[in-house]
Amino acid sequence: MIGRQLTGWLRSLLVIGLSVLLMFIVTPMASATTQQELDDITELWQTSAHALNDINCASCHQNNETKEFVAVPDHETCRSCHEQAVDTFLLSKHGIRLLEGDSPLTPAMARLPMQHEAMQKQMNCNACHNVHSANTTEASVDACLTCHNDNHSLNYQNSRHAELFAASQELPRPGPGAVSCSTCHLPRVVHGQGDNAVVKVNHNNTYNLKPQDRMVGDVCMSCHGIEYSYNSIFDPELVEANFDRPPNLEMETFELMKAAEARRTGNTSE
Ligand code: HEC
Ligand code: HEC
Ligand code: HEC
Ligand code: HEC
Ligand code: HEC
Ligand code: HEC
């Protein structure tokens, strides 16, 4: 065990050495990058899931075919290892402009209220992920709120869900009991079965908005009952308040179903 860890460390050191060397040899781009920035980036990367899996600077900053240095890698760079993330992102409201070859989405184009300082921020993988730390906890809430500025988004912090998220800062990802913006809007999906099962994030933020009850089955019902979930989702005030209180709607369908069940069992006491 210790031997393996040590080898891992040595390998990381070697990679960092090589990478920093690479940056200096091949970088006309370094003109705009200070040594301090390089050090900071290297430090972020060192403890990332990438470094732990031997993904180094060149994995992203060097073109696979031409071997040329890439100063600012785009989403296509991620595709070789994260095809599912890239494909689902490109089908979303966030990514569709890139799929169509247009300029990236920016908050300035939005109909929904957005943070004033973020108006020109371009939507790409790095809009949510700090690509060097690849931190998914930060990406789950804080990143969203750098752009989104509507009542529903801002009210999230008052919810029980936000408390659960704050209490579960598990690494490398928020734990399964936490409810972040992404739990609802970029839900986790199990691919494969048994030993081959892997959990991936559906990056299509449009997918479970319509029909409205898709989110009920895909998300809410892994923790809440069907009635509780429907009564919450179909109450626009509760959605705007970002679920800061229990639902008080009584949906007619459920009342009818209960009445039918009561008739069927002969139990009409209710
Ligand atoms: C997982 C892919 C990935 C890895 C690994 C990676 N980078 Fe990057 N790097 C990017 C992307 C994407 C950008 C563009 C980010 C942006 O536009 O905000 C970037 C930007 C940069 C920049 C420019 C920063 C700026 O603000 O202009 C520098 C310098 C840099 N990376 C250095 C490194 C070094 C050094 C390493 C290794 C220790 C490294 N990168 C590892 C993807 C990566
Ligand atoms: C050469 C392969 C490779 C490339 C290129 C690559 N990654 Fe990764 N990435 C990995 C591996 C391996 C892991 C760790 C295992 C996993 O989670 O799939 C990972 C994990 C991640 C994670 C999850 C981190 C966590 O803590 O669970 C994020 C987020 C991520 N990568 C983002 C990106 C982005 C954004 C890009 C493009 C700028 C990119 N990666 C490019 C291989 C790569
Ligand atoms: C760079 C800014 C930015 C970041 C970061 C960002 N968004 Fe968005 N998002 C937008 C813009 C712009 C729109 C389009 C809004 C419009 O057209 O009115 C949008 C749209 C949406 C929509 C509506 C989708 C639809 O089909 O109508 C949802 C849901 C959403 N974002 C959730 C999130 C979540 C969750 C996060 C964080 C995990 C996040 N966003 C991060 C800018 C951002
Ligand atoms: C418990 C689940 C849940 C959480 C947590 C959550 N949302 Fe939502 N969000 C919804 C539902 C449900 C809707 C309404 C869908 C509808 O009525 O069309 C919605 C709507 C939205 C919309 C508006 C889409 C549109 O076109 O009007 C945005 C943007 C959004 N959420 C962003 C966020 C952000 C950012 C966070 C975190 C700060 C967040 N949400 C947290 C469930 C959630
Ligand atoms: C709107 C914000 C947002 C954008 C844009 C975004 N991500 Fe993510 N991504 C997240 C969040 C949040 C998680 C973790 C969610 C969770 O685990 O509950 C995540 C998880 C991941 C993971 C680990 C889980 C998995 O599916 O393997 C990878 C890899 C990843 N993203 C890659 C990418 C790549 C590549 C892009 C660009 C094509 C991208 N992301 C764009 C927010 C975003
Ligand atoms: C990972 C589990 C999980 C998911 C997914 C989840 N919730 Fe929750 N939710 C909880 C927990 C735990 C509480 C706190 C319960 C308590 O305090 O008794 C809660 C509380 C609530 C509350 C009451 C808040 C209060 O202040 O009492 C509402 C309403 C709610 N959730 C609606 C939803 C809806 C709608 C969805 C799907 C869009 C959803 N939840 C998804 C776990 C989850």
Q: What residue numbers bound the domain in which 183 lies?
A: 82-206
Domain limit, last residue, from 150, 178, 206: 206
Pocket around ligand 5 at a 6 A CB cut-off:
75, 78, 82, 85-86, 89, 94, 125, 127-129, 136, 139-140, 143, 173-174, 182-183, 186, 188, 200-201, 203
Is 95 part of a structural domain of the chain?
A: yes
Is 18 part of a structural domain of the chain?
A: no
| Same-domain pairing of 162 and 96 | yes
Is 116 part of a structural domain of the chain?
A: yes
Is 40 part of a structural domain of the chain?
A: no
pLDDT at 14: 52
| Same-domain pairing of 181 and 264 | no
Q: Which two tokens stand for residue 262?
A: 């009561």
For residue 245, the number of C-alpha atoms closer than 13 Å in the C-beta half-sphere is: 9
| Same-domain pairing of 186 and 246 | no
| Same-domain pairing of 92 and 186 | yes
Is 188 part of a structural domain of the chain?
A: yes
pTM (2 decimals)? 0.91
pLDDT tens by residue, 44-96: 999 999 999 999 999 999 998 999 999 999 999 999 999 999 999 999 999 99
Is 9 part of a structural domain of the chain?
A: no
Closest CA to 158 of 247, 248, 240, 249: 240
pLDDT at 213: 85
Count: domains in the chain: 2
| Same-domain pairing of 233 and 188 | no
Rounded to a whole number of angstroms, the distance between the first and last alpha carbons of the chain is 63
| Same-domain pairing of 86 and 202 | yes
pLDDT tens by residue, 130-172: 999 999 999 999 999 999 999 999 999 999 999 999 988 766 5
Taking only Cα atoms into account, the Rg of the chain, rounded to an integer number of angstroms, comes to 23
Is 4 part of a structural domain of the chain?
A: no
Domain limit, last residue, from 157, 191, 206: 206
Torsion of Cα atoms, 229 then 233 then 237 then 238, to 10°: 40
| Same-domain pairing of 218 and 252 | yes
Is 55 part of a structural domain of the chain?
A: no
Does residue 115's CB lie within 6 angstroms of at least one atom of ligand 3?
A: no
Domain limit, last residue, from 206, 231, 258: 206
